[in-house]
Amino acid sequence: MELVLRIMMFTLSTAMFIAAWLGIDYAFHLNIIITSILALILLLGFPVVLAFVAAYGAVNVWGIPIWAALLLIAWPLVLSIIMNGIYSIFSFRILKKLKKTNEYDS
């Protein structure tokens, strides 16, 4: 399972980097090397700015809808919500089961 998550994270991060790289190229029409350097600077120093540039590149260059671009940049948040939601559901069920058996009452 960990390998699947690592592959998914690598794939989505690469797609976000490429979208940001193409977004910079689309906006400023710079050389490929300069665009790559700017994208790397954003990746290493300003990841929040990279996320918005990636959304801009995904919408304007790839032509995907804005909701899909927001999902591309917000996948860690979505994954965190899903994982915490699963944990909360199981915790609620265990608490409910303990209350039925009166083991939780003190």
Domain range for 47 is 2-73
Is residue 106 included in any domain, yes or no? no
Inside any domain, residue 93 = no
Q: Is residue 95 part of a domain?
A: no
User: How far is Cα 71 from Cα 94, in angstroms, rounded to an integer?
Assistant: 32
**pLDDT band per the 50, 70, 90 thresholds, residue 105:** low
Decide if pLDDT at 33 tops 80.
yes
Measured between alpha carbons, how far is 90 from 97 in angstroms, rounded to an integer? Answer: 11
- pLDDT at position 85, please? 73
| Rounded Cα gap, residues 14 and 80, in angstroms | 19
74-96: average pLDDT: 74
Instruction: For residue 102, tell me if it sits in a domain.
Output: no
The pTM score is 0.70
Q: How many domains does the chain have?
A: 1
Tokens linked to 41: 């600077």
